[in-house]
Amino acid sequence: MKIAGYEIIPLRVGDFKLDGGAMFGVVPKPLWEKQCPADSKNRIEMTARVLLLKMQGRYILVDAGIGDKDDARFREIFDITFPHGSVVDELARHNVTPEQITHVIYTHLHFDHAGGTTVLRDGEAIPLFPNAKHFVQSVQYQHGLTRNPRDRASYIDPNYEPVRVAGLLEFLDEDTELMPGLFLETTSGHTPALQMLRITDGKRTLFFPADLIPLAAHVPLPYIMGYDLFPLTTLNDKEFWLERAARDNWVIVLEHDPHIEAITVRQDEKGRIVIDKFGSITELAGSLYEL
């Protein structure tokens, strides 16, 4: 799919599992388990789906997954596997090397989004993308430094501090059009100043909401993660963005759904936002737009 001059390529850079109850908060298990069956440890299947954008010599990566720096205990807890290969492997399938990446956009700095931007060399974490500017909201970075007991386990310094030390981390302080047609929109329900991606040419739009809507099962408004620090903010932001997406036929890419790459949504006869179609980005774009 190409919008506003950007070739948009989804990459799967690792699978993992998280507790189903934590992923759905107050929603009872008999409801969410219909869509997301749990294993014997109550974990549901997740993936790390990131975006590679190509545009006039720029190679832009939006998030980078968990990475493979973590020890065996960490990998066991989250059942981390790489059935599609690492971020390096996935880039190579599209003839891109880490050194060619020019920009990295962190939606936020949780380990399952930021971990893949550094790699171990002789026991030390170093930037995997040495020629790239890495963008994060300053409020998100400062929150990661607070070591809030509520979510401190999600922030792991070696995932992003080597990037800062190398002078590759750039801070943003508001919603912005980072490049022509590429907008970063913030939401603060899951974590302060999470950056969502919106690419548009005024007629066609692709939306990457990251952890505002991690799985297709999270489209219903009350389906909100227990991980979210401010669930009522999540509720309000979901309603706002899903209504826009329904009205203007946006393609929504799901970062963590292992089975559904993208969706479109509509308003049903009761006024609820529901999934209209699901499939790959290319399939949905082909049904909505002339490619």
Q: Please give the chain's pLDDT, 291 residues, in tens.
A: 899 999 999 999 999 999 999 999 999 999 999 999 999 999 999 999 999 999 999 999 999 999 999 999 999 999 999 999 999 999 999 999 999 999 999 999 999 999 999 999 999 999 999 999 999 999 999 999 998 999 999 999 999 999 999 999 999 999 999 999 999 999 999 999 999 999 999 999 999 999 999 999 999 999 999 999 999 999 999 999 999 999 999 999 999 999 999 999 999 999 999 999 999 999 998 877 654
The domains found in the chain, sorted by start residue, are: 2-209 (3.60.15.10)
Q: CA–CA separation, 24 vs 75, rounded Å?
A: 22
CB contact set of 77 (below 8 Å; sequence gap of 6+): none
Run of H or E including 47: strand 43-55
Task: At 47, give phi and psi (nearest 5°).
Answer: -135, 165
Task: At 54, give phi and psi (nearest 5°).
Answer: -115, 130
pLDDT of residue 290: 58
pLDDT of residue 287: 77
Joined together, the tokens standing for residue 180 give 């022509």
Q: What's the sign of the alpha-carbon dihedral 172, 175, 210, 280?
A: negative
Q: CA–CA separation, 63 vs 102, rounded Å?
A: 13
CB contact set of 72 (below 8 Å; sequence gap of 6+): none
The answer to whether the predicted template modeling score (pTM) of the entire model surpasses 0.85 is yes
Q: How many CB atoms lie within 10 A of CB 28?
A: 9
CB 141 within 8 A of CB 109: yes
SS3 category, 22? helix
Q: How many CB atoms lie within 10 A of CB 239?
A: 12
Q: CA–CA separation, 47 vs 12, rounded Å?
A: 7
List the beta bridge partners of residue 88.
Answer: none
Burial class from Cβ neighbours inside 10 Å (0-12, 13-18, 19+) for residue 220 reads middle
CB contact set of 190 (below 8 Å; sequence gap of 6+): 108, 210, 211, 212, 225, 227, 228, 229, 234
pLDDT of residue 61: 98
